[in-house]
């Protein structure tokens, strides 16, 4: 008789706290947490060396946290379909569990393939929302109410769990260091933020306890925003922190602040309130990509098709792109911001917009390549 296994497919939810998929799988039976470096996704230009290294740091701390639960992390350079095809030969896959991902066209294509595999093998795929994004949204009439309801729901506790019994060799290639699609030509960013739960919580807590007092008025400048911004964007992007737990922590801090205002910096509550609206905005823009995924590769307004060189066959356009990307335009603010981005992997929102405006309007480059 084949052993039963409940697979938790880890994607952009690299934590054990407030984890709906992990919670449901642990409640259902023996759990197998799996993370795969699918070549169809990680070969894309969206990802560079810094992304690989950041995620590996997150996975290292996640593995430790899972082991503390009596589980383990099964990490493979082979794709999820390869792992599923190997596993189904020796085990009864009682369920596949993951969060609802809003990614790019490649992650969407992979999700479709996995959904087809599950139908063919009669495996139920349980997906759980972890942001305010609503699947198959018909209109925005009740979107805000749904967001508020999700963010106010109780956090999922770290569950008691039983590890599925199997050998990692049964599933696929675990050698991440030699996987061709992970050998990125770029160098790692020397001053980038470090991955993992410890760094995520440290960054969040320093913001909630003090740095947020600089938030209003401080997030526009590339200099002041280093401290004034929350700096938790990479941890939200990879699910090291859940949106809901950030909202809970923020609202709890505002309660503490009202009870003991003398213990905290002035303007802290104002900054936290402004940050809450930005978290709402974060999900709003993710919803746009969920509802209109063609925005990734098509002009938003079809009347503007063809007004720029879409092939970069023009040598002058290519040369402009290189100057822009290397921080050699001759415009001091543009170049300084690009150099900061190249060294740290981060630049604040307003300066990101400025860099793209420079490429699109001053250099007249197509947004898809910039």
What local confidence, expressed as pLDDT, does residue 171 receive? Answer: 60
pLDDT of residue 173: 58
Does a structural domain hold residue 367?
no
- Name the pairing type of β-strands 74-76 and 91-99: unpaired
Domain co-membership, 177 together with 70: yes
| Same domain for 174 and 86 | yes
Asked if residue 322 belongs to a domain, the reply is: yes
Are both 32 and 15 inside the same structural domain?
A: yes
| Residue 10 lies inside a defined structural domain of this protein | yes
Based on the fold, state whether residues 99 and 229 are members of the same structural domain. no
Helix/strand number for the chain, H first, E second: 15, 5
Q: What is the pLDDT of residue 168?
A: 47
Which candidate, 255, 249, 251, 256, places its Cα nearest to that of 232? Answer: 249
pLDDT for position 290: 95
Count the neighbouring beta carbons within 10 Å of the beta carbon of residue 267.
16
Q: What is the pLDDT of residue 311?
A: 66
**pLDDT number for residue 79:** 93
From first to last of the 370 residues of the chain, give the pLDDT tens digit: 688 999 999 999 999 999 999 999 999 999 999 999 999 999 998 899 999 999 999 999 999 999 999 999 999 998 999 999 999 998 999 999 999 999 999 999 999 999 999 999 999 999 999 999 999 999 999 999 999 999 999 999 999 999 887 644 456 556 788 888 888 888 899 899 999 999 999 999 999 999 999 999 999 999 999 999 999 999 999 999 999 999 999 999 999 999 999 989 989 999 999 999 999 999 999 999 999 999 998 888 888 888 876 666 678 888 999 999 999 999 999 999 999 999 999 999 999 999 999 999 999 998 887 7
> Is 187 among the domain residues?
no
CA distances to 19, 111, 130, 301 from 99, rounded to whole Å, are: 9, 11, 6, 31
In-domain check, residue 188: no
pLDDT the model gives residue 317: 86
Domain containing 307: what range? 300-362
pLDDT on residue 174: 67
- The answer to whether residues 245 and 18 touch, using CB atoms and an 8 Å cutoff, is yes
Cβ(200)–Cβ(235) below 8 Å: yes
Residue 301 has a pLDDT of: 87
The radius of gyration of the chain from alpha carbons, rounded to an integer in Å, stands at 22
Alpha helices of the chain — where are they, by DSSP H? 20-28, 39-42, 49-68, 80-87, 105-120, 143-152, 197-209, 215-218, 225-228, 233-237, 243-259, 268-291, 315-326, 332-344, 349-357
Cβ count within 10 A of residue 8: 29
128 neighbors 23 (Cβ within 8 angstroms): no
Show the tokens assigned to 226: 């280093």
Indicate whether 54 and 102 sit together in one domain: yes
What confidence score (pLDDT) does residue 367 get? 86
Which string of b and e fits 85-114 if b means at least 16 CB within 10 Å?
A: ebbeeebebbbbbbbbbbbeebbeebbeeb
In a domain, 229, yes or no: yes
Give the dihedral sign, CA 175/178/180/186. positive
Quick one: 145 and 8 in the same domain? yes
With respect to residue 177, please indicate whether it lies within any of the assigned structural domains.
Answer: yes
Residue 306 sits in the same domain as residue 287: no
Query: For strand 3-10 and strand 91-99, is the pairing parallel, antiparallel, or unpaired?
Result: parallel
Q: Are residue 271 and residue 320 in the same domain, yes or no?
A: no
Do 310 and 288 belong to one domain? no
Residue 369 domain flag: no
Structural domain count, the chain:
3
Q: Looking at residue 215, which CATH number applies to its domain?
A: 1.25.40.80
């Amino acid at each position: 008789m084949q052993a039963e296994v409940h697979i938790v497919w880890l994607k952009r939810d690299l934590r054990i706290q407030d984890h709906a998929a992990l919670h449901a799988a642990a409640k259902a039976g023996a759990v197998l947490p799996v993370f795969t470096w699918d070549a169809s996704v990680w070969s894309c230009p969206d990802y560079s060396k810094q992304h690989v290294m950041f995620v590996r740091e997150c996975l290292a701390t996640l593995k430790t946290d899972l082991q503390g639960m009596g589980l383990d992390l099964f990490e493979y350079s082979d794709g999820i379909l390869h792992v599923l095809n190997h596993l189904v030969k020796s085990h009864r896959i009682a369920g596949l569990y993951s969060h609802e991902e809003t990614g790019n066209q490649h992650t969407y294509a992979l999700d479709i393939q996995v959904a087809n595999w599950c139908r063919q093998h009669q495996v139920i795929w349980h997906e759980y929302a972890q942001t305010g994004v609503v699947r198959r949204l018909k209109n925005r009439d009740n979107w805000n109410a749904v967001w508020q309801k999700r963010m106010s729901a109780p956090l999922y506790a770290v569950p008691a769990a039983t590890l599925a019994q199997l050998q990692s060799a049964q599933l696929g290639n675990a050698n991440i260091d030699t996987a061709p699609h992970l050998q990125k030509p770029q160098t790692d960013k020397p001053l980038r933020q470090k991955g993992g739960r410890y760094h995520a919580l440290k960054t969040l807590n320093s913001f909630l306890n003090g740095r947020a007092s600089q938030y209003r008025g401080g997030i526009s400048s590339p200099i002041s925003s280093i401290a004034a911004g929350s700096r938790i964007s990479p941890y939200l992007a990879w699910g090291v922190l859940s949106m809901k737990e950030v909202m809970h922590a923020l609202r709890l801090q505002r309660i503490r602040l009202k009870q003991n205002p003398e213990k905290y910096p002035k303007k802290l509550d104002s900054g936290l309130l402004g940050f809450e609206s930005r978290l709402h905005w974060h999900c709003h823009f993710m919803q746009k990509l969920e509802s209109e995924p063609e925005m990734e590769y098509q002009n938003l307004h079809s009347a503007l098709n063809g007004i720029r060189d879409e092939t970069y066959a023009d040598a002058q356009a290519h040369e402009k792109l290189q100057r822009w990307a290397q921080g050699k335009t001759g415009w001091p603010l543009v170049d300084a911001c690009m150099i900061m981005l190249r060294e740290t992997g981060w630049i604040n929102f307003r300066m990101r917009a400025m860099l793209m405006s420079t490429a699109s309007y001053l250099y007249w480059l197509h947004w898809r390549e910039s």
